[in-house]
Amino acid sequence: MMISGMRGAGIIVMVIVTVAGFAVAAGCVDRTFDRSADGSVVQAVPGETVTITLAENPSTGFIWNATVTGDLAITGDDYSSGNPVGEMMGMVGGGGSRSWQLTVGKDREQTFSAVLRRPWEPVNRTLDTYSITFVVP
């Protein structure tokens, strides 16, 4: 039996969406969040790996200080220069991005929070903040 036309295309799309949904639910697909996800509440499953990426310019002294609640775990923390050649030549002022890899735990609610500030300045001199909460059903 051959499925033709739009009906066949609709079935194929439905199968792809279903498989992708199972992959995300099983933690097989890493999800990435950026500045636009600040303040979000996101459903997640235990063991799922997610990545948070935010702009950072450590050459000016401003770096992100990240914390987590619950059993959310930071499993990686990497800085990537926006201008690696300039950085190798000692040029300052060029920013890049900070990425954290997180593993979702079993607690019902887990939050990743970060503040952008110079470590030697008072806490009230924070330049920016970011948070995202993961909810495990």
Q: What is the pLDDT of residue 8?
A: 47
Of 44, 52, 61, residue with least CA distance to 110: 44
pLDDT < 50 regions, the chain: 1-3, 6, 8-27
Residue 6 lies in a domain: no
Q: What is the CATH number of the domain that holds 127?
A: 2.60.40.2020
Give me the number of domains the chain comprises: 1
Whether the pTM exceeds 0.85: the reply is: no
Q: What is the pLDDT of residue 82?
A: 81
Residue 23 lies in a domain: no
Q: What is the pLDDT of residue 59?
A: 85
Residue 62 lies in a domain: yes
Question: Which residue segment(s) compose the domain that 56 sits in?
Answer: 30-135
Of 77, 134, 132, residue with least CA distance to 104: 134
